[in-house]
Chain A
Amino acid sequence: MAIFSVYVVNKAGGLIYQYDNYVPRAEAEKTFSFPLDLVLKIHDEKVVVSFGQRDGIRVGHAVLSINGVDVNGKYTADGKEIIEYLKDATNYPVSIRFGRARLTSNEKLMLASMFHSLFAIGSQLSPEVGSSGIEILETDTFKLHCFQTLTGIKFIVMADPRQAGIDSLLRKIYEIYSDFALKNPFYSLEMPIRCELFDQNLKSALEIAEKAGTFGPGS
């Protein structure tokens, strides 16, 4: 069980804080000889597998590193196009590491505002009167919990589907936000949160929540 990440979204839908607490490793490294038996394509400035799923390499996985050196988008570390590099027989045998592509900060920003709209549509399509937006979104790999304050700030926690006690964690994060971001004289509302005390306290709150602890008074 784990807590994957925390997002804070302001009332306009802008991402003002993001923290990755735990990123599970779903990677596979393999050495290939010349005719590469995978079909690769460029998608969102990344080289991803489009056909040839095997040995833990799944369709949709991106090329993360070649011969142990991390790639840079669709380019190798020394600036060559990966697709072209892998077409050249002289570069083989080559060891390639595949895995789920990590989200870039741009993508995180985009996803946060996307959730902001989904939240609003969720309440508009409600069959019952007076519904809030999406509070819990369930998938088979994670559960997203969202808490919107009266002032419109959304605290979003992504956790393992079996992780308990997220509700109290969300309230605790709100408390930490009020104590260490809002009370910080250098913090301006609606802007990205860059406060050391906020970071520290958030991390310890996540640790407590992961150990299924509760937040007693004064904790």
Chain B
Amino acid sequence: MVVAIEKQEETSKKSPRFYALLSNGRNLKTMTVHNLYIFDRNGTCLHYSEWNRKKQAGISKEEEYKLMYGMLFSIRSFVSKMSPLDMKDGFLAFQTSRYKLHYYETPTGVKVVMNTDLGVPNCRDILHQIYSTLYVEYIVKNPLCALGETLQSELFNSRLESFIRALPFFSARAG
């Protein structure tokens, strides 16, 4: 298929469908979700899962959670000092040359952080959905789940897994 597209590229006439195919192929190949963190307001990492992560931070997971939370905490204070106007939602996202970090915080201080590929647009709604339809439904409303500790709920984990895998920009064979 790829060969066919490349051959077609060499010919001078290219139909709009060719470009559509090409860009679709690109999106499928590159768009992805790398990992997801959920923190509570004290900085405890409640949940972590990863899908297409190619590089580890080179430190233990516990240390990594602390570093991530510390970075977000500092970014929040940095942003609130730097802002020229009063902020409503505050910090939303940042991107580097290779990945994009999406951030969502509830008024109670639960923070949902998702790292994705650069091509992914604003994810605020999706992160809000993770909070409201998964975290609230399966953790907050579950009397057996202690708040403020790492989430043990298998139901939550499997629902989250299928939710992420169903996202339009999730691609398992990203590479």
| Residues of A in contact with B (beta carbons under 8 Å apart) | 4, 23-24, 26, 58, 60, 100, 103, 107, 111, 114-115, 117-118, 121-142, 144, 158
Contact = CB atoms under 8 A, between A and B. Distances in A.
A127 B34 contact: yes
Interface string B76-89: 00110111111111
Contact of A140 (B53, B78, B92, B99): B92
Nearest to A114: B78
A139 B55 contact: no
Nearest to A102: B84
Contacts of A111: 78, 81-82
Interface stretch (B1-9, B64-72, B147-155): B64-72
A26 B83 CA distance: 11
Given A115-B78, A125-B67, A137-B79, A131 B85 contact: no
Contacts of B99: 126-128, 131
Nearest to B94: A137
B35 interface: yes
B71 A141 contact: no
Contact of B86 (A4, A58, A103): A58
Given A103-B81, A107-B81, A139-B87, 11 more contacts: A4-B84, A100-B83, A114-B74, A126-B96, A127-B115, A128-B98, A131-B55, A133-B96, A135-B94, A141-B87, A142-B84
A177 B64 CA distance: 37
Tell me the interface secondary structure of chain A in the complex: loop
B71 A125 contact: yes
Contact of A26 (B35, B86, B88): B86
B94 A100 contact: no
Interface of B: 34-35, 50, 52-55, 57-58, 64, 67-68, 70-71, 74-75, 78-79, 81-99, 101, 115
A139 B54 contact: no
Given A24-B84, A141-B85, A142-B82, A136 B68 contact: no
B92 A138 contact: yes
A109 to B, nearest CB: 12
A118 B34 contact: no
Given A121-B71, A128-B54, A136 B86 contact: no
A143 B57 CA distance: 27
Given A118-B74, A124-B67, A127-B35, A158 B98 contact: no
A123 B86 CA distance: 29
15 contacts: A26-B84, A26-B85, A58-B86, A114-B74, A118-B71, A121-B71, A124-B58, A125-B71, A126-B98, A128-B54, A128-B99, A137-B93, A139-B89, A141-B88, A158-B84
